């Protein structure tokens, strides 16, 4: 009968409710799928470039778009200054945000970076951690917000390098799903940012090495031109003179030959010195202390200052480490020659409590170290930065004092290297 085959109103309602639940679940799955697809594309996009600003821009554009938000910002941590720097943000307040930096004790971003925990807020203004300063500076009102830490490394070795923040959901509020999604994006972005930064550092280091090599070649050419080449030129001229004297006045020849021998010795000494500067073989065959003794002797012969050398025996160290320490000493001595107008230069090498300490001290005019370092990128020089880089490569530190620590005029360059890293 018809009434037996038709569903009752009750069961029809149940069926409709089930259908509604199914279609809601389907919609949610579709949204999740869409987001997974975006994440997949993010992964591909972020891995396809090593350009830092592209990585940053892409991360923010994707986060804003996928979470249907008004804007996003990515802040990188400056661990030395304990500040977060806004990196090319994406969205309405972007222009004003570019110049902003905020302390780690400031705002929700600062909290996320120090606590390494994400934050989801749909009523930002009622949260005491919110930094009104940024909103006033950007004339932007933050209503809702998602913020996740950007971390690299695994296990106990994780390091926070910044935070990723998305603000003002266009419709409704942010959800736990949104937060989870942003965490995953943050994970991918952090690795991409770190890779891009490592790559930038490598490129900068490579450029500096190339520039340093160029400098060495120019210096070599200058020294050869002003030194050995001039002396050899004089030698040739005078040889011609001697040839004539042999016939005209043979008694004068012996004196002339003495003079020529002197010139030849000068040229020989200059070439040997250049060779030593370029590649101190004694460093490779006998080690740092004998190399330093030979070097001190050499500068004593030609430098306009007195040189005193104090060394104490040190344990055997790796060849490359010895070469790097020696290069730091050479640069510090060259700086004393070029800039200090000093009367004395002291060289010291000694082991101190598990470290090797090397000092080059002069009593010259000194210089403003802080100001020189601040304006370093406007100079064409490389010496100080090369010394610092070598110290870092040796896991050590470079301290430059001017005036010297005892308050006297002049400069003290001190390199301290942990023996554990360099002994063999």
Ligand X SMILES: Nc1ncnc2c1ncn2[C@@H]1O[C@H](COP(=O)(O)OP(=O)(O)OP(=O)(O)O)[C@@H](O)[C@H]1O
Minimum CB separation from ligand X for residue 384, in Å?
A: 4
Q: Are strands 69-78 and 83-91 parallel, antiparallel or unpaired?
A: antiparallel
Judge if the upstream peptide bond of residue 403 is cis by omega within 30 degrees of 0: yes
Instruction: Return the residue nearest ligand X (CB atom).
Output: 383
**Per-residue binding letters, 372-391, with Mg ion (x by CB under 5 A):** -----------x--------
- Distance CA(165)–CA(97), nearest Å, equals 13
Q: Identify the residue among 160, 273, 330, 335 touching ligand X (CB under 6 A).
A: 335
Supply 102's token pair. 């905020």
Q: Which long-range contacts (C-beta less than 8 Å, at least 24 apart) are formed by 185-189?
A: 185/39, 185/42, 185/59, 185/62, 185/63, 185/66, 186/148, 186/149, 186/150, 186/151, 187/151, 188/39, 188/42, 188/43, 188/46, 189/42, 189/46, 189/55, 189/59, 189/74, 189/150, 189/164
Q: Which among 357, 349, 366, 364 has a CA at the least distance from the CA of 398?
A: 357
Stretch binding ligand X (CB under 6 A), from 248-256, 264-272, 306-314, 362-370:
362-370
- Distance CA(124)–CA(414), nearest Å, equals 51
Q: Does residue number 372 form part of the binding site for ligand X (CB under 6 A)? A: yes
186's contact among Mg ion, ligand X, none, with CB below 5 to 8 A by partner kind, is none
CA 56 to chain centre: 19
Minimum CB separation from ligand X for residue 359, in Å?
A: 12
Q: Does residue number 358 form part of the binding site for ligand X (CB under 6 A)? A: no
- Closest to ligand X by CB, 148 vs 345, is 345
Stretch binding Mg ion (CB under 5 A), from 11-19, 136-144, 241-249, 328-336:
328-336
- Distance CA(83)–CA(147), nearest Å, equals 16
Q: Does residue number 335 form part of the binding site for Mg ion (CB under 5 A)? A: yes
176, 177, 183, 187 alpha-carbon torsion, rounded to 10°: 160
160's contact among ligand X, Mg ion, none, with CB below 5 to 8 A by partner kind, is none
382's contact among Mg ion, ligand X, none, with CB below 5 to 8 A by partner kind, is ligand X
Q: Identify the residue among 383, 394, 415, 417 touching ligand X (CB under 6 A).
A: 383
411's contact among Mg ion, ligand X, none, with CB below 5 to 8 A by partner kind, is ligand X
Stretch binding ligand X (CB under 6 A), from 72-80, 183-191, 297-305, 364-372:
364-372
Q: Identify the residue among 340, 356, 358, 398 touching ligand X (CB under 6 A).
A: 340
- Closest to ligand X by CB, 230 vs 334, is 334
- Distance CA(196)–CA(410), nearest Å, equals 41
Minimum CB separation from Mg ion for residue 382, in Å?
A: 7
Question: Residues 212 to 241: which contact ligand X by CB under 6 A?
Answer: 215
Query: What is the rounded end-to-end Cα distance, in angstroms, of the chain?
Result: 99
Question: Residues 64 to 103: which contact ligand X by CB under 6 A?
Answer: none
Buried b (16+ CB within 10 A) or exposed e, 360-373: bbbbbebbebeeee
How many helices (H) and strands (E) the chain has is answered by: 15, 11
# chain residues binding ligand X, by CB under 6 A: 17
Binding region for ligand X (CB under 6 A): 215, 335-336, 338-340, 362, 364-367, 372, 381-384, 411
Binding region for Mg ion (CB under 5 A): 335, 383
């Amino acid at each position: 009968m018809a009434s037996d085959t038709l569903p009752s109103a009750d069961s029809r309602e149940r069926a409709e409710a089930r259908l509604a639940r199914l279609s809601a679940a389907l919609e949610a799955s579709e949204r999740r799928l869409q987001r997974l697809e975006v994440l997949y594309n993010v992964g591909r996009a972020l891995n396809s470039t090593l350009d830092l600003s592209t990585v940053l821009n892409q991360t923010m554009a994707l986060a804003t778009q996928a979470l249907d938000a008004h804007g996003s910002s990515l802040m990188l941590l400056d661990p030395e200054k304990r500040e977060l720097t806004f990196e090319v943000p994406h969205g309405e307040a972007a222009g004003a945000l570019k110049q902003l930096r905020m302390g780690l004790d400031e705002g929700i971003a600062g909290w996320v970076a120090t606590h390494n925990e994400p934050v989801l807020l749909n009523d930002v203004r009622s949260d005491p951690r919110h930094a009104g300063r940024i909103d006033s500076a950007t004339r932007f009102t933050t209503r809702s917000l998602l913020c996740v830490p950007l971390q690299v490394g695994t296990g106990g070795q994780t390091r926070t390098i910044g935070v990723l923040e998305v603000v003002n959901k266009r419709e409704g509020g942010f959800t736990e799903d949104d937060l989870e999604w942003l965490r995953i994006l943050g994970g991918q972005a952090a690795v991409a940012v770190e890779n891009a930064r490592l790559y930038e550092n490598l490129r900068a280091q490579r450029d500096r090495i190339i520039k340093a090599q160029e400098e060495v070649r120019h210096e070599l050419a200058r020294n050869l031109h002003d030194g050995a080449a001039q002396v050899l030129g004089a030698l040739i001229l005078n040889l011609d003179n001697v040839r004539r004297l042999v016939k005209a006045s043979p008694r004068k020849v012996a004196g002339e030959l003495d003079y020529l021998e002197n010139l030849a010795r000068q040229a020989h000494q200059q070439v040997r010195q250049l060779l030593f500067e370029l590649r101190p073989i004694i460093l490779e065959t006998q080690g740092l202390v004998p190399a330093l003794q030979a070097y001190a002797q050499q500068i004593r012969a030609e430098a306009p200052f007195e040189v005193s050398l104090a060394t104490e025996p040190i344990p055997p160290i790796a060849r490359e480490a010895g070469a790097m320490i020696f290069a730091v000493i050479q640069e510090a001595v060259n700086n004393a020659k070029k800039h200090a107008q000093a009367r004395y230069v002291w060289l010291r090498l000694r082991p101190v409590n598990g470290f090797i300490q090397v000092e080059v001290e002069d009593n010259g005019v000194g210089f403003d170290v802080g100001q020189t370092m601040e304006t370093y990128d406007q100079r064409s020089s490389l010496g100080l930065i090369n010394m610092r880089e070598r110290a870092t490569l040796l896991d050590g530190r470079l301290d430059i004092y001017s005036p010297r620590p005892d308050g006297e005029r002049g400069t003290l360059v001190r390199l301290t290297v942990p023996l554990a890293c360099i002994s063999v």
